[in-house]
């Protein structure tokens, strides 16, 4: 069984170095930089990667893996392909737990209406969850937990309870 969990918060505090595989979608900006820098004392290997968005996965000192995906926006197809890549990576490498942030839908990038933008974010969250549920059901991966985390309330406003997938 795999449990999909939802949190509002900082992936550096609740996922980085805790989950076997941690996926950060975005870019090297202020919020990423300060969170990344805060982990360098605990994980000295990070000193070797000044911009982790330009490298492949980084194996931390405790054996956990972090990958920074340089995408602020992805289409559904791009996200699906990227998630498959990382789920297969986790399966192949025996990772049991995964934490990941979200990535906005590139086809809806020029929305100016706040309510429509919020609904677009809700649709993306539901897309991610539905995709994960289907992939888990169809793949004997050994993954036991997936944490979906965002600084915004995107995940928790759509899902107030964990989802168990068998």
Of the CATH numbers 1.10.287.130, 1.20.20.10, 3.40.220.10, 3.90.740.10, which one belongs to the domain with range 2-165?
A: 3.40.220.10
For 8-12, 67-71, 103-107, 151-155, which range has the lowest pLDDT when averaged over its residues? 103-107
Residue 32, pLDDT above cutoff 80: yes
108-153 per-position pLDDT tens digit: 667 778 888 889 899 999 999 999 999 999 999 999 999 999 999 9
Highest-scoring range by mean pLDDT, 70-74, 83-87, 111-115: 83-87
pLDDT score recorded for residue 58: 97
> Burial, 125: exposed, middle or buried (Cβ in 10 Å; 0-12, 13-18, 19+)?
buried
Q: Can you list the positions of beta strands (E) in 86-136?
A: 97-100, 104-105
């Amino acid at each position: 069984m795999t449990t999909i969990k939802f949190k509002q918060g900082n992936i550096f505090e609740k996922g980085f170095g805790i989950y076997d595989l941690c996926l950060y979608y975005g870019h090297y900006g202020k919020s990423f930089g300060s969170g990344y820098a805060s982990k360098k004392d605990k994980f000295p290997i990070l000193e070797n990667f000044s911009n982790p968005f330009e490298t492949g996965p980084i194996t931390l000192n405790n054996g956990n893996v972090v990958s920074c995906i340089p995408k602020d926006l992805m289409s559904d197809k791009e996200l699906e392909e990227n998630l498959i890549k990382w789920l297969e990576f986790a399966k192949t490498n025996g990772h049991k737990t995964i934490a990941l942030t979200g990535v906005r839908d590139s086809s809806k990038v020029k929305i100016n209406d706040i309510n429509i933008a919020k609904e677009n974010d809700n649709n993306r969250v539901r897309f991610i969850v539905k995709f994960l549920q289907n992939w888990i059901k169809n793949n004997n991966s050994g993954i036991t937990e997936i944490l979906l985390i965002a600084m915004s309330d995107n995940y928790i406003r759509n899902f107030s309870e964990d989802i168990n997938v068998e």
